[in-house]
Amino acid sequence: MIGSDISPAVDHLRAGELVAIPTETVYGLAANALNDEAVLQIFEAKNRPHFDPLIVHIGQRQLPMFEEYIHDEARTLMNTFWPGPLTVIIDKPPFIPDIVCSGLTTVGLRMPDHPLTQELLSEIDFPLAAPSANPFTYVSPTTAQHVEDQLGDKVSYILDGGPAKVGIESTIMRSDQGGIKVLRLGGLSLDELRKVEPNIELEINSNANPRAPGQLDRHYATQTPLLLVDDVEEAVKGSDLAKTAVIGMKLPELKGVNLKLDLSENGDVSEAARNLFAALRLADSEGIEKIICQKAPETGLGPAINDRLRRAAFR
Ligand code: TXA
Ligand code: MG
């Protein structure tokens, strides 16, 4: 059931059930992070392998539980960017069950910037474990309807907070003796991060990186084969245009192409990020045999968009 009333969401979460929650990045599939059995259902609903750890979502009410595990560098990031699209990896407190972190000694913590979810978190006294609310490896949901389409029968309630305003998942950071590292590019741009931490390093996850086991090479993937290109006009030549979808920013005319999805007509990369996942879902439809995606410029959220498109194109 979809609704924008938080009281059923509170009741279902207290009962150990799954509730989809809106955030500024993408919708999450939430359960009580302190309840093993509830968290287990998340993995089952998503068909997610147990080696892929979950992010723990908190509001001001849950923050004190974690205080003693937050060191100075992490605190600076949190003070600057929370609530917002940033997940910070900290040492795992013992009260967080191992299943949440796939047995790692760390946990990813995030305070989402969405009024409904903040209100929800103020009503409960436990944190919420939540991955993106999509089947494993598929495109993340940016509307309540996206969740309903794929996981509607597996959740007790979908809290509808409107379309996600950022549209791609949070940036994940970790700091240790080796410095401050970005493990996943996301909704908080590198430009913004560098204003506060000029010396961040990229340690972008792949299958080969044991530190972030969930960042598979193939991810955010459509069923329909997807091609990532620099020049869409060149790429559509030789394609069956009736069965081709093209996604990009400031797209040229492209006569004959069946489905043309312009993520931002005036070339605004943040607007493109907001529209990206809905466009991928739309393009991944009957009758389309090839999705051609234009690379985003490498500014603002562009690198995060391209990271997702590269994984979506990976076969
Ligand atoms: O914006 C987001 O982050 C969304 C919303 C719902 O908050 N959540 C999200 O969760 O994208 P998910 O599960 O789809 O992606 C979480 C990523 C995975 O790649 C996982 O491997 C990584 O975070 N991760 C979680 N805990 C980790 C840890 N302790 N160390 C390293 N990576 C971790
Ligand atoms: Mg995900």
What are the pLDDT digits (tens) for 277-287?
999 999 998 89
Task: Look at residue 106 and give its three-state secondary structure.
Answer: strand
Ligand 2 centroid – CA 93 distance (Å)? 23
Tell me: do 173 and 307 sit in the same domain.
no
Give the Cα separation of 216 and 274 in Å (integer). Answer: 22
Ligand 2 centroid – CA 238 distance (Å)? 34
Tell me: do 183 and 294 sit in the same domain.
no
Ligand 1 centroid – CA 239 distance (Å)? 36
pTM confidence score = 0.96
Nearest CA to ligand 1 atom 30: 212
- Closest atom, ligand 1, to C-alpha of 205: 19
Tell me: do 184 and 231 sit in the same domain.
no
Ligand 1 centroid – CA 121 distance (Å)? 19
**What's the burial of 100, exposed, middle or buried (CB within 10 Å: 0-12/13-18/19+)?**
buried
Residue 237 is part of which domain span? 226-313
Q: Annotate 179-213 with three-state secondary structure.
A: EEEEEECCCCCHHHHHHHCCCCEECCCCCCCCCCC
User: Is ligand 1 within 6 A of the CB of residue 107?
Assistant: yes
User: Is ligand 1 within 6 A of the CB of residue 29?
Assistant: no
Ligand 2 centroid – CA 233 distance (Å)? 31
**What integer pLDDT is reported at residue 210 of this predicted model?**
46
Tell me: do 139 and 287 sit in the same domain.
no
CATH of the domain at 92: 3.90.870.10
Amino acid at 97: P
- Token pair, residue 126, equals 């436990």
Give the Cα separation of 197 and 10 in Å (integer). Answer: 37
Pocket test of ligand 1: the residue of 87, 88, 276 to mutate, having most ligand atoms within 8 Å of its CB, is 87
Averaged confidence pLDDT in the chain = 94
Tell me: do 136 and 246 sit in the same domain.
no
Q: Judge contact between 52 and 102, C-beta under 8 A.
A: yes
User: Is ligand 1 within 6 A of the CB of residue 101?
Assistant: yes
Q: Annotate 215-275 with three-state secondary structure.
A: CCCCCCCCCCCEEEECCHHHHHCCCCHHHEEEEEECCCCCCCCCEEEEEECCCCHHHHHHH
Q: Which residues of 177-200 are buried (b: 16+ CB within 10 A; e: fewer)?
A: eeebbbbbbbbbbbebbeeebeeb
Tell me: do 242 and 135 sit in the same domain.
no
Tell me: do 60 and 144 sit in the same domain.
yes
Number of folded domains that form the chain? 2
**What integer pLDDT is reported at residue 212 of this predicted model?**
55
* Ligand that comes closest to the CA of residue 24: 1
| Mean pLDDT value of segment 31-52 | 96
pLDDT tens digits for range 117-126: 999 999 999 9
To the nearest 10 degrees (0 to 180), the angle between helices 269-283 and 144-151 is 30
Terminal CA-to-CA distance of the chain, rounded, Å?
35
pLDDT tens digits for range 175-195: 877 789 999 999 999 999 999
**What integer pLDDT is reported at residue 216 of this predicted model?**
75
Tell me: do 194 and 249 sit in the same domain.
no
For residue 211, tell me if it sits in a domain: no
Task: Look at residue 30 and give its three-state secondary structure.
Answer: strand
Tell me: do 185 and 293 sit in the same domain.
no
Tell me: do 186 and 286 sit in the same domain.
no
